[in-house]
Structure 1
Amino acid sequence: MDIRKIVGRNLRKLRVERGMTIDDLAGDADAEPSWTARIERGLVNVGVDQLARYAKVLKVKVADLFVEPAPGSAIPKPLKPGRRPSRNSPKARSR
């Protein structure tokens, strides 16, 4: 499997497990949501500095983003569709 696909798959898996949107992850990692989405799809190369920021936000080691998935393992499903307020919005803070 292509290393970009491995990193993207792991990034998405970890993000979804934590209930984060792409906007949440990108904002906390000082990245653009569209760039983060392209990384998750394995379309672009990403620098180690940016990977370190994603890992810090996700509270994992950078090496965890490079773990090859087991053969036949399911591709991480996206979060349920629909807009959710940003974690910094007044609605989100009142939860």
Structure 2
Amino acid sequence: MDIHHRIAHRLRELRDAQGLSLDALAERSQVSRSAISLIERGQSSPTAAVLDRLSSALGVTLASLFEEGAAPAAEPSPVARAADQPEWTDPGSGYVRRNLSPAARSPIQLVEVHFPPGQRVAYDTGVRDTEVYQQVWIVEGTMEMTVGDAHWRLAAGDCLAMQLDRPIVFHNPTQRPARYLVALTTVASVGWRTK
């Protein structure tokens, strides 16, 4: 199954599991009903920002949209072979993300990102129903990251920890590609939080 059909299947599965209509998910995510329908049919290549809005509205991480989906009858393997790790390219920026984590359920998800020179990706993430934390470890190159009002310039070896509860911008300000590892974990929130 190619990556667009995997995303389509997974998005539909998550929406159905929560009993959400296309209209309800559109209202929650601020992504149009027609755009969601095209994504679910595998007829659209959504940007990272659109996938982030959808994952936030569904209460899952962006990396969850690239998973296989419903657990098979047998226990999933604790090993994710490189050849089987789904890879996706953002049509807006050209950044490439590879989900490294195996299908076996774990509270941690690992993602490797190759980020092209001069590109920028902005996520309008706000407060979620579940708390999502991530750490970004720069393997090669330089990345500028803005989390809410805070801004950092990160070089190889630097690591930034954050909660995904405010807008985030990833920017490669250089003429060289960057590569980094993202580690994510989700904690269910208790009740409604206000900021």
Q: What is the TM-score normalised by the length of structure 1? A: 0.70
Report if aligned partners of 2:22, 2:36 keep a CA contact under 8 Å in 1: yes
CA pair 57-44 structure 1, distance change in 2 beyond 3 A: same
State how 1:69-88 maps to structure 2 within 5 Å: 69=69
Q: What's 1:26 paired with? A: 26
Q: Which moved more, 1:11-20 or 1:24-33?
A: 24-33
Gaps of 5+ in 1: 74-95
Aligned AA (2:52): A
Contact 2:55 2:61 in 1 (8 A): yes
Matched, 1:53 2:68: no
Verify: 1:64 aligned to 2:84, yes or no.
no
- Whole-Å Cα distance in 2 between the matches of residues 60 and 31 of structure 1? 16
Bigger CA radius of gyration = 2
Provide, for residues 60-95 of structure 1, a one-character-per-residue CA deviation record: whole Å limited to 9, x for no partner: 01111001357x99xxxxxxxxxxxxxxxxxxxxxx
Contact 2:39 2:45 in 1 (8 A): yes
Match of 2:2 in 1: 2
SS of equivalent residue, structure 1 residue 10: helix
For residues 13-46 of structure 1, the C-alpha deviation after alignment (integer angstroms, 9 at most, x for no partner) is: 0000000000110111111101100100111100
Please give the secondary structure, in 2, of the residue aligned with 1:35. Answer: helix
Partner of 2:17: 17
Alpha carbons of structure 1 residues 37 and 19: separation in structure 2 relative to 1, 3 Å: same
Larger RCO (CA within 8 A; separation ≥ 6): 1
Q: Distance in 2 between matches of 1:57 and 1:6?
A: 19
How far apart, in 2, do the equivalents of 1:32 and 1:53 lie?
Answer: 11
RMSD: 1.8
Structure 2 spans left out of the alignment, 5+ residues: 74-195
Q: Distance in 1 between matches of 2:47 and 2:3?
A: 13
For the pair 1:39 / 2:39, whether they are aligned, the reply is yes
Offset at residue 56 of structure 1 (A): 0.6
Matched positions, count: 72
What is the CA–CA distance in structure 1 between the aligned matches of 2:2 and 2:26, rounded to whole Å?
Answer: 23
